[in-house]
Amino acid sequence: MKKAFVIAILFLVTVQLLAQKVKSKSEKMNTSTVHYTFELSDKVSRQKVIFKNRYGITLSGDLYLPKNAGTEKLAALVISGPFGAVKQQSSGLYANQMAERGFIALAFDPSYTGESSGEPRNVASPEINTEDFSAAVDFLGLQQNVDRNKIGIIGICGFGGFALNATAIDKRVKAVATTSLYDMTRVMSKGYNDSVTLEQRTKTLEGLGEQRWKDAEAGKPADGPRNLPETLKGDEPQFVKEYFDYYRTPRGFQVNSVIFRSIL
């Protein structure tokens, strides 16, 4: 399975770049909460599912099934990410492509994000998001058409690290692949390319402490800063331009994604 799994992932890296055509800039954003940024394959069926993690949070997922599957049990994949994205974006695209190739694939919204539950909204926790992957494995293993000995994980971008965490501690996971992996804990602490100094980090922590006083007085946490601007100035780092080209254009925009808004 591992060899086929790796080959499929290498194929998918190319598919993600080529299969989604960049749409006209004049096209309006689709602001429907049920909008998918890709077309469902005619070889695949998709169904809404829900399941709970061990923190009691209800997770919302889409289960992708190959239509030509027989009665035999199939290998299955759990897929999530990027960080702050939702299942109608990249994770769903990956699940769609993998189901075309004979896998049962589950793309899900992490805790606190998209259609999944959890309060406050739009926050992240390495521990809870790692548990989200294992909870998804729980769900897949209870399906009659899934081979429990052939369950793998795909972690995309910021969820690549959480995927590795889950694989390290959950020995039911037989294979893992990541794409465009970010170590989100390190990024949050040291910034992209370790660009944040100790003095800058200390100032940020002091500001967060002051914000907690304000949140305590208000009775709820304030929204974090916006992740992506409404428009680009032109002098942004290349990775910001690439984020914008997906999340802030009709190609990848999804109103439930927190990437274009804010995340604490």
Candidates 87, 76, 106, 95; CA nearest to 175 is 76
Q: Which one has a higher pLDDT value, 27 or 70? A: 70
In angstroms, the Cα distances linking 151 to 8, 59, 231 are 15, 19, 41
Could you tell me the pTM of the whole model?
0.85
Average pLDDT over residues 76-82: 96
Arithmetic mean of pLDDT over the chain: 87
What pLDDT is recorded for position 3?
Answer: 52
Beta bridge partners of 86: none
What pLDDT is recorded for position 195?
Answer: 93
Are the beta carbons of 229 and 237 closer than 8 angstroms?
A: no
Q: Which one has a higher pLDDT value, 167 or 193? A: 167
Average pLDDT over residues 174-191: 91
The band of 223, judged by pLDDT with boundaries at 50, 70 and 90, is confident
What pLDDT is recorded for position 167?
Answer: 98
Amino acid letter for position 74: L
Asked whether the predicted pLDDT for residue 92 surpasses 50, the reply is yes
**pLDDT by residue (tens digit) across 10-64?**
455 445 545 454 444 556 777 777 789 999 999 999 999 999 999 999 999 999 9
Asked whether the predicted pLDDT for residue 120 surpasses 60, the reply is yes
Candidates 40, 147, 131; CA nearest to 80 is 131
Alpha carbon of residue 69 to chain centroid:
26
Q: How far apart are CA 109 and CA 81, in angstroms?
A: 8
Q: How far apart are CA 17 and CA 35, in angstroms?
A: 20
What pLDDT is recorded for position 225?
Answer: 74
Q: Which one has a higher pLDDT value, 250 or 132? A: 132
Say what the alpha-carbon torsion angle 182, 251, 42, 138 is, to the nearest 10 degrees. 30
Q: Which residues contact 112 (CB under 8 A, 6 or more apart)?
A: 57, 118, 119, 120, 121, 122, 123, 124, 125
Within 13 Å of residue 232, how many CA atoms lie on the same side as its CB? 16
The band of 262, judged by pLDDT with boundaries at 50, 70 and 90, is very low
The band of 264, judged by pLDDT with boundaries at 50, 70 and 90, is very low
